[in-house]
Structure 1
Amino acid sequence: MKIYKNYNYQGLNEVFSWHPAQETGLYDEIEVKLPEGAKMVKNGFDQDAVELDNGCICPDLLTMHRNGKSFPYLVDTTGDKPRNIFLKEVNR
């Protein structure tokens, strides 16, 4: 699945998104692997989201910054405690 690493977006160095930045040259296309059983869907507002195999709809593609690197992830909100699910980049 293709996502985008946008640069200098809202004051942060790198932010992952379902769509590229409007300015050409300020993003990279990144291939990631969704968790097993997950699929891309549209939410009630016709926006991209991921449906996990447990039925949780994850509308937001989030970015975690650690040690100078950025990582794309989703949040599974089923159960008592939210769980971060990091997306693995293909060919990284």
Structure 2
Amino acid sequence: MKIYKNYNYQGLKEMFSWHPVQESGLYDEVEVELPEGAKMVKNGFDQDAVELANGCICPDLLTMRRRGIAYPYIVDTTGDKPRNIFLKEMK
């Protein structure tokens, strides 16, 4: 699946999103692997989201930074405690 790494977006160094949010040249296309059993869907507002195998709809593609590197992730909100699911970049 294709996502976008946007650079210098709103003062942040890098931010991942479902679609490019800036002009050409300020983002990279990145191929990532969804978790097993997950698929892309549209939510009630016709926006992209991920539906996990357990039925959880994850509308937000988030960015976590560790040691200067940005990682894309979604959040599984089923159960008592939300769980971050990092999306693996395919090389």
Give the match's secondary structure for 2:7. strand
Do residues 31 (structure 1) and 26 (structure 2) align? no
Taking the TM superposition and a 5 Å limit, the aligned residue runs for 1:35-54 are 35-54=35-54
Shift of 1:21: 2.4
2:4 corresponding residue in structure 1? 4
What is the aligned partner in structure 1 of residue 64 from structure 2? 64
* Divergent runs of 4+, >6 A: none
Instruction: Using structure 2 for the length normalisation, give the TM-score.
Output: 0.98
Note the residue ranges of structure 1 that are not aligned, 5 or more in a row.
none
Aligned-pair CA distance for 1:10 = 1.1
The residue type paired with residue 63 of structure 1 is: T
Match in the other structure for 1:81: 81
Tell me, in whole angstroms, the C-alpha distance in 2 between the residues paired with 1:13 and 1:22: 13
**Unmatched segments (≥5 aa) in structure 2:** none
Q: Identity of paired residues, percent?
A: 84
Question: What RMSD over aligned residues (CA atoms) do the two structures have, in Å?
Answer: 0.5
TM-score, normalised to structure 1, is: 0.97
Count residues in correspondence.
91
